[in-house]
Amino acid sequence: MRKILPALLLIALLFTVAACGTPDRYDLTEKTFFYGMTVILDYPTEYTDKVISFDCFTYRLTDVNGKNYLCGVRKCSSEYGCNCGKDTVIGFILDYDGEIPEPKNQSDDTPDKSWIHVEGKLASTEKEAFRIYAYKGDEIDYSVTEPIAFYHFAVSTLTPIEDYSGLAYFVTK
């Protein structure tokens, strides 16, 4: 028994060390996207070393100074957890060395977008804050600005999605 206990402890230690070397994965699906994304956005430090994958569409934001941000987002209805009282987008600024498909039908409320599947990790735990011009319907209202802030997401793989019929344009609970 004396020889077995140290051997079992050594095996347990080896499994623990091996497990620490493998990052956790969070694959957000249609069912888990909203809650998964809101938890990640509320507790970013808990997810910086985790691999995260999700489906989204590309979205370009331009700040009031003309700087462009290419994001991966889903639309979030005001009735599903968005505190601003109006529809908005939920997602990340995408940091990627490869080519990201340009947004399609960005101002239209249609699921016909440039959909992508991304995998990677949070690249920041501090949101990048900037101001954009407000929208009034589908038109930009240059007399009003509003703040917006996104985390950066370091994309390791990006795959265009051709058949997005099973993906929800608006995310819900």
pTM, two decimal places: 0.80
Can you tell me which residue has the tokens 């990052």? 23
Q: What's the pLDDT at 23?
A: 58
Q: Render pLDDT for 86-110 as a digit per residue (tens, 0 to 9).
A: 567 889 999 999 999 999 998 888 8
Q: Which residues contact 64 (CB under 8 A, 6 or more apart)?
A: 130, 131, 132, 133, 145
Q: What's the pLDDT at 21?
A: 35
Q: What's the pLDDT at 14?
A: 32
Pairwise CA distance, residues 127 & 121, whole Å: 14
Q: What's the pLDDT at 26?
A: 93
Give the residue-averaged pLDDT of 117-134: 94
